[in-house]
Amino acid sequence: MITTSNLQKLFTTEEVETTALNGIDMTIKDGEFVAIMGPSGCGKSTLLNILGLLDNPSTGSYNFYGTEVGDMSERQRAQLRKGNIGFVFQSFNLIDELTVFENVELPLLYLKTPAAERKEKVDRALERMNMMHRRNHFPQQLSGGQQQRVAIARAVVAKPKLILADEPTGNLDSANGEDVMKLLQELNEEGTTIAMVTHSPYDAGFAHRTVNLFDGKIVTENFHV
């Protein structure tokens, strides 16, 4: 389970101070699939980045599976991320210089998984995402839908507890978007907890509930049946 309590995030630049998050109390239970929606600039990505230990809150607390992470250093957060969290982004964020296989292998290299086991796990993830035939290609040789399937393979290869997806279908046409949503739904049904930012009510329909943000606050929440 992950729980935030009165989470605040302030960004200060030379000219302006922005309150990106203004008191977020949120719990995501194991096995849940939660959609986060709201207008541009309301704090969705900031929240997802904090939930994913990519950033820390300015004030408030965040409990990640029993560990209080609010005050952790960047290094400690990176250590805790390993193997526990998988990310999927709108822009895929694959490394252009690495092949499909090498991109998916990265989380396992961070975990110092032995080579034979890495190969087996990467192959399994690529098969699952129907990308085995492209294992030696580079990201730029793939379509958007294929790149996102590789990114999902990378997100799941180390079997994380939690997947965070920031507008995962934002750069895809509707057919590829639907494929990606079905893959996320399958992973959730197998037990992976998912928090996903989306602008699409259709995509949100794959989740168990939607949390609506406005101006850094949770304004409404609706449960889907």
Q: Which stretch binds ligand ADP (CB under 6 A): 12-20, 87-95, 170-178, 188-196?
A: 12-20
Per CB under 6 A, the list member of 2, 28, 37, 43 interacting with ligand ADP is 43
Residue 45 touching ligand ADP (CB under 6 A)? yes
3-state helix, strand, coil in the chain (%, to 5): 35, 30, 35
Report the alpha-carbon distance of residue 103 to residue 114 in Å, rounded: 16
Q: Which is nearer to ligand ADP, 17 or 97 (CB)?
A: 17
With residue 122 as reference, give the H or E element that holds it. helix 115-128
- The first and second tokens of residue 74, run together, are 């960047």
Residue 152 touching ligand ADP (CB under 6 A)? no
Asked if residue 129 lies in contact with residue 120, where contact means CB atoms within 8 angstroms, the answer is no
Among Mg ion, ligand ADP, none, partner that 11 touches (CB below 5 to 8 angstroms by kind): ligand ADP
Residue 17 touching ligand ADP (CB under 6 A)? no
Output phi, psi for 38, to 5 deg: 150, 165
With b meaning 16 or more CB within 10 Å and e meaning fewer, what string describes 161-197? bbbbbbbbbbbbeeebbbbbbebbeebbeeebbbbbb
Within positions 33 to 92, which residues make up the interface with Mg ion, using CB under 5 A?
44-45
Q: Which is nearer to Mg ion, 44 or 118 (CB)?
A: 44
Q: Which stretch binds ligand ADP (CB under 6 A): 11-19, 72-80, 200-208, 217-225?
A: 11-19
- Count of residues binding ligand ADP (CB under 6 A)? 12
- Count of residues binding Mg ion (CB under 5 A)? 2
- The first and second tokens of residue 61, run together, are 């607390």
Q: Which stretch binds ligand ADP (CB under 6 A): 44-52, 102-110, 141-149, 181-189?
A: 44-52
Residue 51 touching ligand ADP (CB under 6 A)? no
| Beta bridge partners of residue 211, listed in sequence order | 36, 221
- Positions in the binding site for ligand ADP (CB under 6 A): 11, 13, 18, 20, 38, 40-46
